[in-house]
Amino acid sequence: MLGNFSYHNPTKLYFGENSLEFLNEELPKYGKTVQLIYGGGSVKKNGIYDAIVEILKKNGKTVVEDGGVMPNPTVEKLREGIRIARNNKTDLLLAVGGGSCCDYAKAVSVSVNCNEDPWDKYYIRFEEPDCEIVPVACVLTMAGTGSEMNAGAVITNHEQKLKIGHVFGTEVMPKFSILNPKFTMSLPVRQMAAGIYDIFNHICEQYFSGDDDNTSDYLAEALMKSVVNSSLVAVKNPEDYEARSNIMWSATWALNTLISRGKDTDWMVHMLGQAVGAYTDATHGMTLAAVSLPYYRHILPYGLKKFVRFAKEVWGVNSEGKTYTEVAEEGLEKMKQWMQTIGVTLSIRELGATEDMIEGIADATIILDGGYKVLNRDEVVDILKQSL
C-alpha cells in the first residue's frame, strides 16, 4: 500500500518546438546578470547559443560566460563557476545543455554564498544549504537525467576518486526549464542511447523496491514501455520528432520525484555506475548499462515477485508452463536484447575499467539500503567482476 508522503515540484516547464520563445516571459523575473552555462561548444555550432544570447540581450541582460562544463562536472569546475558567479554578482544561472550542465548549475547555485567548502559540506557531510541560493533555469539539449525538473547535482572529485550526487530540497530545483525535442537531434547516436538508458534505469531504480500493487508501479511500467518503444524508433531514425519528444518527456517524468512516491527506491545501480565513472570518467548512461544486468541478476531472488511482474508487463513474457524464476530471467534477457539493439555498453571493461581497479571502485561505491537486498562489500566486488 502507498505510505504517507508529500509531493511538490515547483519547476515550470515549456515544451515543444517553439518553447525557447518563452524565455522572453521568464527573464524579466530575474536580475540583470545571467551566467550562461554550457559544455564543449556544440551549442555554438548548432545555433542554440546564438539564439539564446540574442534573447538575453533583447531583454537587457548582461551575459557572463561559463562554458566548458564536462560530461562529469568536477569539483575544480565547480569552484571556477563559484568564482565567476561571485565576481559578477550573478542573478540567474542559465544552463544550456544536458544533465551535466544542469547538475553543475545547481551545485553552483548552493555554493556561491556558502561560507564553507561546498564539496565537504554537500558531498561528504550531505548537509543542506543554509545560505541564499542563486536561481537556476535550464534549456535542455539532451534527454536523460531529468535534471531539468529535479534537485539532484552530481559532482566528481578525481583526486579522491569519488563521484557523488546530492539531492537537495525543492528550493534548488530549476525555476523553469525549456524542452525543445529538436535541440536533442544533433547528438551522436551513442550519446542519445546513453541518455535513453539513463531514463530507463531511473525508472527501474524506483520500480524495483517494494512489492505493493500501487499507482507508482503502474506509472513506471507505462513510462518504461514508452521509452522502449520510442527508443527503437529513434535508433533507426534519430530525426523522428515524435520518438524524440516522447523520449524527452519520459526523461522528465522518470526523475522528477513523481513515481518515487510511496516507494523505498533502490539506487544501487547508480552507486555502482558512479563509482565506475569516478575511475574511468566514462559516460554516465553507459556506466549504468554496464553494471545493471549483473546487479539485477544478483538481487532477482530477493525481489522475485517484482521481477516476474516486470517480465510480463514491460517485456510481454508469456509465463505459461514456466517457473517464476524462469519468467523473471527471461525478462532480464529481453532487457539485455533491447540494450544491445539501442547500442549501450554491457561491460565496464569497454569503458576503461580493469581488474586492478575493482577493489578501489568497490571502496568508492556507497552502499544503500532501499533495495530487496542490502549488499555487503564482497557482493559489490562480485557484481563489479561480473560487469567486466
What pLDDT, in 10s, does the model give residues 201-249?
999 999 999 877 889 999 999 999 999 999 999 999 999 999 999 999 9
Determine the longest span between alpha carbons in the chain, in angstroms: 69
Cβ partners under 8 Å of residue 219, min gap 6: 253, 258, 259
CB atoms within 10 A of CB 100: 24
Backbone phi, psi, residue 128, to 5°: -95, 155
* Mean pLDDT taken over the chain: 96
Average pLDDT over residues 352-379: 96
Taking Cα atoms as reference points, which of 36, 42, 91 lies closest to residue 67?
A: 36
Per the document, the length of the chain is 388
Question: Hey, what domains does the chain have and what are their CATH numbers?
Answer: 12-183 (3.40.50.1970), 188-387 (1.20.1090.10)
User: Please, are residues 372 and 211 in contact by the beta-carbon 8 Å criterion?
Assistant: no
Dump pLDDT digits (tens) for 284-331: 999 999 999 999 999 999 999 999 999 999 999 999 999 999 999 999
Q: Is a pLDDT exceeding 80 seen at residue 337?
A: yes
Taking Cα atoms as reference points, which of 291, 357, 277, 290 lies closest to residue 70?
A: 277
Residue 238: strand, helix, or coil: coil
Taking Cα atoms as reference points, which of 303, 307, 298 lies closest to residue 330?
A: 307
Question: How much is the pTM?
Answer: 0.94
